Amino acid sequence: MCRRFRADNGKWRPLRKKAPFKGTIRYASLNALRLQECGPVDDLIGWLYSCIEITLSKLPWAKSTPREMLHMKENMTAEEVCAQMPPPFVECYNYISQLKSTEFSEHVKMHKWLRDCRPTSTETGDPFDWEAEHMI
């Protein structure tokens, strides 16, 4: 979770030297864990971790202590964090990871990577598994 990052005039608010931690350690960015100011990129990192957990049913640091989680997040490569995820997801992870707290992401680029993660046999209009025509 990050605070409002723009002032009423549309400019970036000044970064604080130390920001309190709010959130869930498992999904927190390194900035948040280091008590640094967070921005939109930190929300995207938490979203990436959520996507990994939803897809694989776990994160690499799922059963780790907070200190171990910090160490793993500092030292694991994108390929290690995203092991078993489609290659375009790794590209998206690398892209988001290199953004600064005061940068916006290119959503069109990210959307393309996420579309490329879909199995080739699926179409955007295909029903979900739980929809009526798939029920027995």
**SS3 call for 6:** strand
Instruction: List, for residues 39-88, the tens digit of each pLDDT value.
Output: 889 999 999 999 999 999 999 999 999 999 999 999 999 999 999 999 99
Q: Per-residue confidence at 21, pLDDT binned at 50, 70, 90?
A: confident
Q: Which residue has the tokens 């990129």?
A: 41
Q: Is residue 99 part of a domain?
A: yes
Return the pLDDT at 65. 95
**SS3 call for 12:** strand
Write out the residue range of the structural domain in which residue 113 sits: 25-119
Where residue 49 sits, what CATH number does that domain have?
1.10.510.10
Q: Is residue 48 part of a domain?
A: yes
Return the pLDDT at 131. 75
Q: Is residue 17 part of a domain?
A: no
Integer Cα distance of 101 and 107 in angstroms: 16
Q: Is residue 11 part of a domain?
A: no
| DSSP bridge pairs for 6 | 12
Q: Look up residue 94 and give its DSSP letter.
A: H
Number of domains comprising the chain: 1
Q: Is residue 135 part of a domain?
A: no
Q: Is residue 35 part of a domain?
A: yes
Q: Is residue 14 part of a domain?
A: no
Q: Is residue 16 part of a domain?
A: no
**Total residue count of the chain as it appears in this document:** 136
The pTM of the full predicted model, rounded to 2 decimals, is 0.79
Return the pLDDT at 28. 94
- Between 77 and 38, whose confidence is greater? 77
